[in-house]
Amino acid sequence: MGPELIWTSIWALCYGIGLLLLSISTIVFYRLFLHPLSRVPGPRLAAVSNIWHAYHARNGRMFELGRTLHQKYGEVVRIGPNELWFNSPEAFDKIYSSTKGFEKTDFYSIVATSLSTPKIDCFLRPHFADSLDLLSERDMKRYRLQRRLIGRVYQTASVIKFEAAVDEVIKQAIARLEALDGAEIDLKEWMHIIAVECLGASVISWSPGLLKAGTDWGSSAHSYLGWRRKSVMGLFPTLTKMTMRSNLFEWIFRDVWDLKYVATPNFRSFFPDVGKRISRRIKSTLKPNAPKDNRADLLADLIQLHKDKPDFTENYLRKMAVTNFGAGHETMASTLTSIFTMIGTHDDVQKRLQYTRAAIREAMRLHPVLSMSLPRRVPDMGSHIHGYFIPGGTTVGCNPVALHRNANVVIGPDPDAYNPDRWLGGETLDIRLMDRYSLNWGGGPRTCPGKNLAEMVVYKVVSALFERFDVEVATPPEIGQPSYFLSMITGVKARFSSVAPQMAGKDCL
């Protein structure tokens, strides 16, 4: 290679680097000073790139960001070049209204891939199979139709008949915990064990054997690490769609962000068995002249719904049956863990079983299942919130951690303190407002259809276990707890010491 060619190559390289730096500088300058959201306060690095947000998501700092960002910057925070977090009833009412046109974002398409993987076309558009997917469905009309289809199955009057199955699981859990004789346990794992067993009993009349084994085989820890990956990938929807089309892109993305994780040697997932049992039972039940199945569980109700309403297709049936486990096992375990952690670290509360409901609601307020906002897309015509004009296509949402500690929403002093007394005194207007602005079950009309089943399980488990045990809890510092889109208190050690059953617990619900 001659000297002239070498110098030409060097100049071409320098020119390319210079052009790249100029392009980056132009983008940075535009996003900081000329972008329509440039007036909104927030971390400067967050305004430049989603990398800042993704870095903190990867490191599990979502709960901490929800707690501190609004304290520092106010009710509106720019959390990304094109994303805002809000912390106010005004923003909640607009963003999560069923009539304002704020639809779900691409983030949910990424999160939903654990239940159904879309096909990505050459224009990077996701195409989900025609299956009922309430989590990622963005068309509000279609969502309403789907909710109406399944509505009767998840009403309180319907799920209450599963109480006996849940009671049997609780009875087994009490016996198992009594046999431990006060030995130290990992609270998150045991709450996950109980949650999965309750789901198995009420949905498909089946036990995965976790209570008998005394372990969840690492499935809760494995699933939680999966949320670390999904929380980061959801912030880069275009890149994530590219990874779905190319294994090479997927490998590069996960390697750059250090999102790979290896299952523990004893890891065993209960999902394959769930899927097989659901498929086998649906197939046998829908055969012509099939013998009557006398199991009275949620799957039986869904099968009957399919028979009564052809619009509720067999694909919908399969998807909805599995979704009860996919959407329920972690959220229910997270809720139970936070409740037992909060009540277990407040002896005065533990001794007052008569207000278990207030104690549960307060724990769920302080430690919501989600730590990132529930993102929505601003309609094409744009919107005004808190004096800012927000262009169409901007991602907006309320952060549950911040909103649940907002002094304008929470009754009483010190919203950061655990104080179940806030919820006492009957269903007053103030208490109804705290419920209204809760994001524990989703935002506005997009609430979890399994709420009634989950609440029934949670209230029964908490009431029964605190009636039979003194619970001693050792908690790690709140700061440093890993939290992603889904948030779960980890590292909590607990001891369940048997006490004589108390009649007071009978009326705690």
Residue 483, beta-bridge partner list = 61, 487
How many residues in total does the chain contain? 509
CA-based torsion, 255, 257, 259, 262: positive or negative: positive
> Is residue 395 classed as helix, strand or coil in its secondary structure?
strand
Tell me the C-alpha distance between 333 and 341, whole Å.
Answer: 12
User: Tokens 């990398």 correspond to what residue?
Assistant: 51
What DSSP line would sit under 477-498, residue for residue?
-STT--B-SBB---S-EEEEEE
CA atoms within 13 A on the CB side of 46: 22
What sections of 122-270 are H helices per DSSP? 140-150, 156-159, 163-179, 187-204, 210-213, 219-233, 237-245, 247-256
* CA-closest candidate to residue 187, choices 466, 471, 499: 471
* CA-closest candidate to residue 337, choices 455, 453, 195, 217: 195
* CA-closest candidate to residue 253, choices 78, 115, 125, 110: 110
> Taking a C-beta distance cutoff of 8 angstroms, is the pair 449, 150 a contact?
yes
* CA-closest candidate to residue 197, choices 210, 184, 188: 210
Tell me the C-alpha distance between 155 and 160, whole Å.
Answer: 9
> Taking a C-beta distance cutoff of 8 angstroms, is the pair 464, 456 a contact?
no
Strands 395-398 and 119-120, how do they pair? unpaired
Tell me the C-alpha distance between 78 and 397, whole Å.
Answer: 11
448 among annotated binding-site residues:
yes
- Annotated binding site for heme, which residues? 448
- Annotated binding site, which residues? 448
